[in-house]
Amino acid sequence: KRIFLEYHGKFDEYYKLEELLQILSRNNFRYYITEANRVYATPFNRGNVTNMYDVQLNIYCFK
């Protein structure tokens, strides 16, 4: 079985990604994560940029 997820999230809502990964793990899925879009040149120096999302990830799930 395979699932592809595109995740869009905010840094202050990190728990949503954790919940998603826990659901996958509980259902015996393994996953591989890549950055879908580079939102910031570096996460350590974001300045006053206001984007709709802070992180965009591709999550490839398989079992």
**38 pLDDT band (50/70/90 cuts)?**
confident
Residue type, 50: T
Distance CA 60, CA 4 (A): 5
CA neighbor of 21 nearest in space, from 49, 54, 61, 52: 61
> Residue length, the chain?
63
Domain boundaries, the chain: 2-43+50-62
pLDDT per position as a tens digit, 43-60 = 776 666 677 888 899 999
- pTM score of the predicted model: 0.83
Phi and psi at residue 19, to the nearest 5°: -60, -45
Phi and psi at residue 37, to the nearest 5°: -150, 135
